[in-house]
Structure 1
Amino acid sequence: MQHSQQNRSETKIARPIAEANQDNAANTVRPILLDNQVLLPLIACLIGVVTVFIILYLARFFFSPVISAFVMGIVVSPLSRLLRKLRLNRALAALATMLLVLAGLAALIFALEPYITFAIQRGPAIWAEFRDALNGFTQMLKGLGDISKDIAASVTGAGAGEVEAEPEVEVPSFTDALFYAPQVLAQIMVFSGTLYFFLLARGDVYAWIGASMPVLTRDDLDRAERKVARYFLTITAINGAFGTIVGMVMMVLGMPSPVFWGLMAFLLNFIVYLGPILLAAALLVAGLVVFDGPFTVVPALVYMAMNATEGQFVTPALVGQRMSVSPLLVFLSLTFWLWFWGPIGGIIAIPLMIWTITITEAALGQSISAGFPGREAQSLKKARAG
């Protein structure tokens, strides 16, 4: 009897110990399982993203005009909607919008063509003038005769005082290079076709995505489209006014080809941060070639002051804080797409980033750009409910 009672008591004691051991084992295994459940999808997602970008890079001659057409279609969507309100059917509205976009791009290219052709033909002479101006500026700063002679000898060779005649080389014009390049023509055709069919079937595509993805609706996609279009059209108006003012200021300063500098200010201002730096460097080089003395740096300094005023006061006032994004995110996105696809990547980087952020915020129901999670959730819910 005593043995049976002792066995029962040992059994009662052993059961809690065994259950506790099982709980401890479960607790030790559960974090590992949770880590694996989180880690494996992250690894799969990372591999998928890397694979997508590898494909985009290897097939960039196809995907760059396609994605550029998508971005352009989102930007000019208000024009297509306006034509629809004027009683045009979808096909005619899409065709008219595409033709207007191509006409605008062609007008911009032909406006820049004389200046680019002149720069190509006069490139050696401009470089020689810049080299002479830079050598004189270096000698003035250093004031060391022996070092200056060594630099002059290494740059100009034995005949430092003689100017070598540049050989006459027949350089094809920019228009010839454009229209005789099959690769460029193929990309233009891909861009035009993608833009037309995207404008034609944009609503159906949004409806299909909204029906296929439970976290997004067609209203979310329409909202992202309107946000990108509003941003890009506002920036285009700002850059147009800014380029006009820059051209007028360059004319007052006596810079040659002020229309060219105005157009370059308009275009390069789309590439935030890096575009103004490139134009300031170009104005500095042109100032060294055109002017003498301290006035050589005046065009670049005036442009930098104008760009700082526009970037700090005009753009924030017109665009608004509601569309502000982290400057670090803007810079990283811009540099990545410039490295990835060159100038085309630099142009589509900001609209593509704004569209991606807007879609992601709609899917998550919270803000990811301003750094305050949950702040946008209520506004997004109200927008969806409304």
Structure 2
Amino acid sequence: MRVLPTERLLPDAHDGTPLPDSRNDQPPLIRRTEVVALAVVLLTVISVTAVLYVAKAFFLPVVMAFVVGTMLSPAANFLERYRIPRSIGAVLIVAAVAAGLTIIIGLISAPAIEWSGRLPELAARLRDKLHVFDRPIALWHEMQAMIGAGGTDRTSSFQLPKIEWVQPTIEFLSPTFTEFLLFFATLVLFIASWRELRRALIMNFADHEARLRTLRILNEIEVHLGNYLLTVTLINTGVGVATGLACAFAGMPNPAGLGALAATLNFIPIIGPVAMFAVLVVVGIIAFPTLSGGLVAPLAFIAIAFMEGHFITPTIIGRRLALNALAVFIALAFWTWLWGPMGSFLSSPLLIVGLILKEHLLPDNSPQLPQA
């Protein structure tokens, strides 16, 4: 009896009843093409990341100008409704942004310059205030000695960290003049030519459906980023005003500068509020004779940041953008490592752009799990 290739017989079968091939029960193997495709994707991601890291001086101001320009394009559209040419509107918008940044930098830099001139005096005062930690540090050294940690410095007085990190930190935080110039020039040109760029991107596709999809993506990115900038700016302004009032009520020096610093740092998720709290603690310890008096303003800022982070921002932004906290943290860590403080500012807008692209280009058509 002839047996089909995809069938087999039982050894003791006499009726010739065929059985299905057992190869159908085996798990599918990973194809070589899938492995090659995955390797190509990983190599592309690594190559792009390396290029963005090495050529930071060029890509950071350009990407920053593209993102900020997309955020500010609704303002240029608003000025066009009043018959103001888009090129002139771009110059006016960038001038207004530069003026606002100049005011904020002036509020922050004035007390910083004043305190930098008194740095030895302030350092000595801070060292005297931190003598309250001498006893806990001495107990820690004794504990290390008991468990056999050799070579431990048993000096009981609190030592301030060395300031060798100051110069690298300033270089890390301060962009160069060339980067500033490239950013503002690209920003003006981007806002002025955004309509032509949109039209060119849309008409680059020959298929009508692809053009409609590109138009929807660009419109959604522009709307979401514009709303994000407006909403976050209003929220951070409120945080800065509340922090300045709390510092004035607590008797902190230069409450306006501290409020401006709080509003600026709050644009950086997670890291900004932590840095602001540390600044308030240091200023409070130096400015007040007692430790309890110096902690009034930092504790008030904790309450303000808690209300803003857990109630105000999720209510206003969370419903509209629905950003996952883990995704925000990973994006913040990656872009901060790649491009520093400016990368941390760009992390949330770039995450929004990525989610919009994923929603339109990779729609989720898989069946949904039932509700629990």
Shorter-chain TM-score tier: 0.7 to 0.9
2:278 aligned residue: 281
Q: Which runs of 5+ in 1 are unaligned?
A: 1-8, 157-170, 376-386
Sequence identity percentage: 28
Contact 1:366 1:374 in 2 (8 A): no
Contact 1:210 1:217 in 2 (8 A): yes
2:146 aligned residue: none
For the pair 1:352 / 2:368, whether they are aligned, the reply is no
Q: CA deviation at 1:226?
A: 0.7
Aligned equivalents of 2:90, 2:368: Cα separation in 1? 38
Post-superposition CA distance 1:218-267 (Å, at most 9, x none): 12211111111101210100110110111011011011111111011101
For the pair 1:128 / 2:120, whether they are aligned, the reply is no
Q: 1:374 to 1:100 in 2, by over 3 A?
A: farther
Aligned equivalents of 1:207, 1:27: Cα separation in 2? 52
2:359 aligned residue: 361
Q: Quick check: 244-253 or 312-321, which moved more?
A: 312-321
**AA matched with 2:103:** A
After the TM superposition, which residues 121-200 of structure 1 pair with which residues of structure 2 at under 5 Å, given as runs? 121-135=117-131, 137-139=132-134, 151-152=155-156, 155=159, 184-200=176-192
After the TM superposition, which residues 299-378 of structure 1 pair with which residues of structure 2 at under 5 Å, given as runs? 299-366=297-364
Q: CA deviation at 1:102?
A: 2.3
Aligned residues: 331
Q: CA deviation at 1:347?
A: 1.1
Aligned equivalents of 2:138, 2:93: Cα separation in 1? 61
Contact 2:135 2:156 in 1 (8 A): no
Contact 1:129 1:289 in 2 (8 A): yes
Q: Which runs of 5+ in 2 are unaligned?
A: 9-19, 143-152, 161-166
After the TM superposition, which residues 220-259 of structure 1 pair with which residues of structure 2 at under 5 Å, given as runs? 220-259=217-256
Aligned equivalents of 2:46, 2:187: Cα separation in 1? 27
Q: 1:37 to 1:105 in 2, by over 3 A?
A: same
Contact 2:138 2:154 in 1 (8 A): no
Describe the SS at the equivalent of 1:280. Answer: helix
**AA matched with 1:115:** P
Structure 1 segments of 4+ aligned residues over 6 angstroms from their partners? 23-30, 372-375
Contact 1:221 1:359 in 2 (8 A): no
Aligned equivalents of 1:353, 1:346: Cα separation in 2? 11
Q: 1:207 to 1:134 in 2, by over 3 A?
A: same
Post-superposition CA distance 1:4-23 (Å, at most 9, x none): xxxxx5xxx15x1x3559x9
Q: CA deviation at 1:201?
A: 2.3
Describe the SS at the equivalent of 1:342. Answer: helix
Post-superposition CA distance 1:158-191 (Å, at most 9, x none): xxxxxxxxxxxxx9xx9xx9xxx9x722112211
Aligned equivalents of 1:373, 1:84: Cα separation in 2? 45
Q: CA deviation at 1:141?
A: 5.2
Q: CA deviation at 1:308?
A: 0.2
Q: Quick check: 231-240 or 204-213, which moved more?
A: 204-213
For the pair 1:272 / 2:269, whether they are aligned, the reply is yes
Q: CA deviation at 1:28?
A: 10
Alignment match of 1:67 (pick from 63, 67, 75): 63
Q: 1:143 to 1:112 in 2, by over 3 A?
A: closer
Give RMSD over aligned pairs: 3.3
Aligned equivalents of 2:135, 2:158: Cα separation in 1? 18
For the pair 1:201 / 2:193, whether they are aligned, the reply is yes
Describe the SS at the equivalent of 1:87. Answer: coil
TM-score by length of 2: 0.79
For the pair 1:260 / 2:257, whether they are aligned, the reply is yes
For the pair 1:45 / 2:41, whether they are aligned, the reply is yes
Describe the SS at the equivalent of 1:208. Answer: helix
Contact 1:211 1:217 in 2 (8 A): no
Q: 1:306 to 1:153 in 2, by over 3 A?
A: closer
Contact 2:127 2:158 in 1 (8 A): no
1:167 aligned residue: none
Contact 2:284 2:297 in 1 (8 A): yes
Q: CA deviation at 1:57?
A: 0.6
Aligned equivalents of 2:269, 2:28: Cα separation in 1? 45
Q: Quick check: 223-232 or 317-326, which moved more?
A: 317-326
Aligned equivalents of 1:373, 1:270: Cα separation in 2? 38
Contact 1:76 1:229 in 2 (8 A): yes
Q: 1:30 to 1:261 in 2, by over 3 A?
A: same
Q: Quick check: 87-96 or 327-336, which moved more?
A: 87-96
Q: CA deviation at 1:153?
A: 6.3
